[in-house]
């Protein structure tokens, strides 16, 4: 038995969810207000028999005990596994458990950063040395309550202030270097990294201080510096203020991403608490992934001078996540969000409400600079936009933008489609970075054969990736299969998946990559057409399975409403598609040329 299965057997989903949601008995199931969005009428259901949950309201999502705790706590699968295993009194094996020494080191660094945060904050708030920093914040209209909430600080214009303070607390010099707070000299010794700067503690979604941003208080350069890359801090995956913003992001189902620290502080002061900061960097897939558990709706506030290029870069990061939607706020020339929010709150409200879809903005920016009378300009425009089009997961949206590009550049749509489908030369079956023999030792998980076969096909034949755009994590009911699929979506090759996957799932990955499945057609290695046909069949069957599951859950909830003499409109998700029964669902598939599954 896998540890994932053991966790599910030890823990009851109703008991766990009840700690976050007030549940009421509803027939054999339970219902309550969804914890992931604001609502007045309960649309969130927990199904004890299936040990699953589903929101029939604005979220429209569901899952198992792992997906619930990941979404609610904003943590990844590995963290969820360890949290739930501990709760169930389950000891993880060496393969499944994190490196204890590494975990202890990380925890030590969190404590060092916490101590530094408290000291820097004290120096800002209560010392004469912090007067210049306090004056700067006053000029920027940052109020004391915000300074306290975000624990802003000050690093004095001295070489060993934080070093001496933390050494006095019992930490050693090597640890301070590893935390990025001091810098080692080549000739020996060390000194404080941050001097005479306003300090911005940067926290993860759980509120733990991972690093710092720091602004100079004079005219010296660089104006801003950050902590270096450490085992706890990665600027490319961090969003400033996400720990303070997560509740508002869930409630409003929207994350507004600005660039600067002060932009975030001003926004929160003006009751825009769903604002976070990318700290001056182009938005990355990791940053989008960090808030995807909170919302699929993202609005970017961009400087008018660099908006076109930035929207292209950031748009690709967002499109890498199939369900994320993004809009763009184009700021007035020469203005940043901090100024707009302070000087004209009504204008900021208007800009948010009128934000343009990022794809439309990207296309407009690129095409407007092209001379459609020149073949070279057309070609360059297509080259710039092709990666963005490729990253669009929804086939309907992708088709829309293909037609749009062809129409605006006055070229044949078929030419763009050919470029989009052009195969990469020399593709080979993926190889594992670890010995193949490991896969033969893999334990079998109690997961769906269809899910495994589909995943194995996708992992073993990378050229099938474009044909799997219709699949989503929701199609994979098995926890381990779903996690591997999610990592596959956002990885370039098998070694990339290995590096991102929790160690508890590596054996399952090895088995999927290495095993020659007996369910595959015999000529699958030789025929690309056979591989595509097999994948189409797996996708069809996974869709069947998902619709059946939704139908079962929907029927259970509708039965409760019928007993009460009414039907909640929030539970008619499938009816809106014209599907009221399993038979009707089958009829829809038959009309599309698919084989029936109800005998």
Res 96: pLDDT:
54
Res 564: pLDDT:
53
CATH architecture of 3-87: Alpha-Beta Complex (3.90)
Res 575: pLDDT:
46
Res 59: pLDDT:
79
Res 330: pLDDT:
85
Res 304: pLDDT:
63
- Rounded Cα distance between 588 and 573, Å, is 16
- Among 127, 177, 117, smallest CA distance to 156 is for 127
Segment (H or E) for 269:
helix 261-269
**Superfamily for domain range 100-233:** DNA primase, catalytic core, N-terminal domain (3.90.980.10)
Segment (H or E) for 63:
strand 62-63
Alpha helices in 142-284 (DSSP H): 144-149, 161-168, 173-178, 242-252, 261-269
Cα 534–Cα 467–Cα 490 angle in degrees, nearest 5: 115
- Rounded Cα distance between 84 and 70, Å, is 11
Res 109: pLDDT:
96
Res 22: pLDDT:
92
In DSSP notation, 497-564 reads HHHHS-GGGHHHHHHHHH---TTS-TTTTT-HHHHHHHHHHHHHHHHHHHHHHHHHHHHHHHHHHHHT
Give the tokens for residue 415. Answer: 């030419």
φ, ψ of residue 385 in degrees (nearest 5): -95, -20
Give the tokens for residue 349. Answer: 């409200």
Res 328: pLDDT:
87
Q: Under CATH, which number does the domain 246-363 receive?
A: 3.40.1360.10
- Rounded Cα distance between 298 and 278, Å, is 13
List average pLDDT for each run of 10 residues in the chain, which is 599 residues long: 82 91 89 87 88 85 89 83 86 62 86 98 96 96 97 96 97 96 92 97 94 92 92 91 92 91 97 92 77 84 65 58 72 90 95 89 83 88 82 79 90 84 48 44 51 90 88 89 89 79 82 69 78 90 86 69 49 44 47 43
Res 320: pLDDT:
53
- Rounded Cα distance between 22 and 331, Å, is 42
Res 274: pLDDT:
97
Res 585: pLDDT:
46
Q: What is the reported pTM?
A: 0.63
């Amino acid at each position: 038995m896998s540890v994932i299965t053991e966790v599910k057997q030890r823990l009851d989903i109703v008991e766990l969810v009840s700690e976050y949601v007030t549940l009421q008995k509803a027939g054999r199931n339970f219902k309550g207000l969804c914890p992931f969005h604001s609502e007045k009428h309960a649309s969130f259901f927990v199904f004890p028999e299936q040990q699953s949950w589903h929101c029939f309201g604005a979220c429209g999502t569901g899952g198992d005990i792992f997906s619930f705790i990941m979404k609610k706590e904003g943590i990844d699968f590995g963290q969820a596994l360890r949290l739930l295993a501990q709760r169930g009194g389950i000891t993880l094996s060496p393969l499944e458990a994190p490196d204890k020494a590494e975990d202890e080191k990380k925890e030590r660094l969190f404590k060092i950063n916490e101590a530094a945060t408290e000291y820097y904050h004290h120096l800002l708030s209560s010392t004469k040395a912090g007067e210049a920093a306090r004056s700067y914040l006053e000029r920027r209209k940052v109020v004391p309550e915000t300074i306290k909430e975000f624990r802003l600080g000050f690093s004095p214009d001295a070489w060993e202030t934080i070093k001496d303070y933390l050494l006095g607390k019992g930490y050693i010099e090597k640890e301070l270097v590893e935390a990025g707070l001091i810098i080692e000299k080549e000739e020996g010794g060390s000194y404080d990294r941050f001097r005479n700067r306003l300090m911005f503690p940067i926290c993860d979604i759980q509120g733990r201080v991972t690093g710092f941003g720091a602004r100079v208080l004079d005219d010296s350069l660089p104006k801003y510096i950050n902590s270096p890359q450490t085992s706890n801090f990665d600027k490319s995956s961090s969003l400033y203020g996400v720990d303070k913003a997560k509740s508002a992001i869930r409630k409003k189902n929207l994350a507004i991403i600005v660039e600067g620290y002060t932009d975030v502080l001003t926004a929160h002061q003006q009751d825009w608490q769903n604002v976070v900061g990318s700290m001056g960097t182009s938005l990355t897939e990791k940053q989008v992934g960090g808030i995807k558990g909170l919302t699929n709706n993202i609005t970017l506030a961009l400087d008018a001078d660099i908006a076109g290029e930035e929207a292209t870069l950031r748009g690709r990061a967002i499109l890498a996540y199939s369900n994320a939607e993004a809009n763009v706020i184009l700021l007035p020339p020469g203005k940043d969000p901090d100024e707009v929010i302070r000087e004209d709150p009504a204008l900021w409200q208007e800009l948010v409400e009128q934000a343009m879809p990022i794809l439309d903005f990207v296309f407009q920016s690129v095409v407007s600079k092209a001379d459609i009378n020149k073949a070279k300009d057309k070609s360059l425009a297509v080259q710039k936009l092709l990666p963005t089009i490729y990253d669009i997961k929804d086939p309907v949206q992708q088709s829309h933008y293909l037609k749009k590009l062809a129409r605006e550049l006055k070229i044949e749509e078929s030419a763009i489609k050919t470029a989009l489908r052009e195969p990469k030369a020399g593709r080979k079956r993926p190889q594992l970075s670890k010995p193949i023999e490991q896969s033969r030792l893999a334990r079998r998980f109690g997961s769906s054969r269809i899910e495994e076969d589909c995943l194995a096909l996708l992992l073993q034949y990378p050229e099938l990736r474009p044909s799997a755009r219709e699949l989503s994590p929701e199609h994979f009911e098995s926890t381990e299969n779903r996690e591997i699929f999610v990592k596959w979506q956002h990885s370039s090759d098998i070694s990339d998946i290995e590096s991102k996957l929790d160690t508890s799932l590596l054996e399952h990955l090895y088995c999927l990559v290495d095993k020659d499945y007996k369910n595959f057609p015999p000529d699958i290695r030789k025929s690309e057409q056979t591989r595509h046909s097999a994948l189409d069949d797996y996708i069809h069957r996974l869709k069947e399975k998902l619709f059946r599951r939704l139908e079962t859950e929907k029927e259970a909830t509708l039965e409760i409403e019928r007993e009460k003499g009414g039907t909640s409109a929030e539970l008619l998700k499938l009816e809106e598609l014209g599907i009221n029964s399993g038979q009707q669902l089958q009829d829809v598939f038959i009309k599309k040329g698919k084989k029936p599954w109800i005998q």
